A = this chain, B = another copy of it.
């Protein structure tokens, strides 16, 4: 099928400036050519889109999502045989919001690959998925790396089953092994069909430890290279970051998160020199202001460093990458006031915010604009930089002839104002216009919660006088 998009201002991700008066000709899912107005008439396209006054940009990408990000006990028990449905719903929410490609950096490999393949084969619709499966060195959802309390409640057999699905043979136990032993396990894991490799340079909690020595990290990266995959590291501290770069990582997840210390200049220089992809997680000014009023001095310091790092990375020369751990969450969680209050405060007037797969990229653009990031640098951070860091730039990331036809038509100019990224008129993926109204096709997390029958809705929960403050030492009991 062929498609011709005419009249739009073209922001192709390659040129330093937008160009007007050109059309994009799409054939068989790829960009056949960029035509001048005069050339359009000579082409017979099955469908025409008149985009006069609008703006055409490459499809957006997210360098770090978790399509099955809500890995809490009640969710994994409830949807034990339906993980693929949850993953597909998330991929559809992503696509509906302009993300034509997403990189899943932690999740259940078997189910992620299954949905990935269905979308690639055209038997399901959704954002294009590339996935890593497990983070090498991390253990499963019901381990100390994620929700350790689950193991105190669930049966050992269930805990073990879930952890095995996520972890397979590349979990935390590798930390006890030599470089050669780790390499052998990683090779076996890669052979199962993942798209890229992710490992922990730092641990997940508290984040200050190193999961692997530099020598082990180098061995892991070498295995990815041998298989033709990119390698990336999860880092949380200045040393975790430095070691991962020196070990050869292609990109760094949340490079700007380094706890209560800022990235040293030498490390910034090294990232630029090696052109390591620097994923930035960020929040807007209003969020930072609110955070400054919260929590302990150490937490505040960490948020401040996260911002300083982001600003320094903008000017560092390292390629920036947009990502946000984007995922969907069960309505029981996403409607819980303990969460909504927090996220509303962080994200300002728009709900959802930072880690919301449907919203986070829009917030990110606004936040980076506030920090002084140049408009084109931002666009590239969410398109061609990601494609390049993941080794997918032959096919994706810019509007160039020969590339896969993933693009967005925006009502307003995104280079003028970051908020304009929200003005999506049309989404084209694989050369086809996406029917966004139909997505997600089977709402689960995006469906409303069931209403309880009347006799249950009137339930009064138990009340404990222990919550009724009696004296300082009784309070001490409850604190």
Contact = CB atoms under 8 A, between A and B. Distances in A.
B77 A74 contact: yes
A479 interface: yes
Interface in A203-220: 203, 205-216
B208 A473 contact: no
9 contacts: A77-B77, A143-B462, A153-B153, A171-B460, A173-B461, A176-B260, A207-B465, A215-B243, A302-B465
Interface in A321-369: 325, 327, 329-336, 338-339, 342-343, 355
B207 A157 contact: no
A327 B471 contact: yes
Interface string A170-193: 011101111101000000000010
Contact of A456 (B157, B164, B468): B164
B77 A460 contact: no
B239 A212 contact: yes
Interface of A: 66, 69-75, 77-78, 80, 110, 139, 143-147, 149-150, 152-158, 160-161, 163-165, 167-169, 171-173, 175-179, 181, 192, 203, 205-216, 236-239, 242-243, 257-261, 264, 281, 295-296, 298-299, 302-303, 325, 327, 329-336, 338-339, 342-343, 355, 449, 452-453, 455-473, 475-477, 479
Number of copies of this kind of chain in the complex:
4
B69 A73 contact: no
A149 B157 contact: no
Contacts of A467: 295-296, 298-299
B463 A208 contact: yes
Contacts of A465: 205-208, 236, 257, 259, 302
A176 B73 contact: no
A288 to B, nearest CB: 13
Given A139-B462, A147-B153, A215-B242, 10 more contacts: A72-B473, A144-B206, A146-B477, A206-B465, A208-B463, A208-B465, A209-B211, A259-B468, A281-B470, A325-B471
A339 B472 contact: yes
A176 B258 contact: yes
A459 to B, nearest CB: 4
Contacts of A75: 77
Contact of A473 (B154, B257, B259, B329): B329
A444 to B, nearest CB: 13
B461 A163 contact: yes
B168 A459 contact: yes
A244 to B, nearest CB: 10
Contacts of A214: 213-214
Lowest 10 A-B CB distances belong to which pairs?
Answer: A207-B465, A164-B459, A209-B209, A206-B464, A77-B77, A175-B208, A210-B210, A155-B332, A157-B332, A172-B462
Given A176-B261, A462-B172, A463-B298, A453 B110 contact: yes
A239 B261 contact: no
Contact of A158 (B144, B295, B296, B332): B332
Counting chain B CB atoms within 10 Å of each CB, the highest count among A208, A355, A469 belongs to: A208
Contact of A463 (B213, B259, B329, B471): B259
Contacts of A205: 464-466, 477
B463 A155 contact: no
A178 B343 CA distance: 32
B457 A164 contact: yes
Contacts of A78: 77-78, 80
Given A260-B176, A453-B110, A302 B468 contact: yes
Contacts of A299: 467-468
Nearest to A330: B155
A472 B333 contact: yes
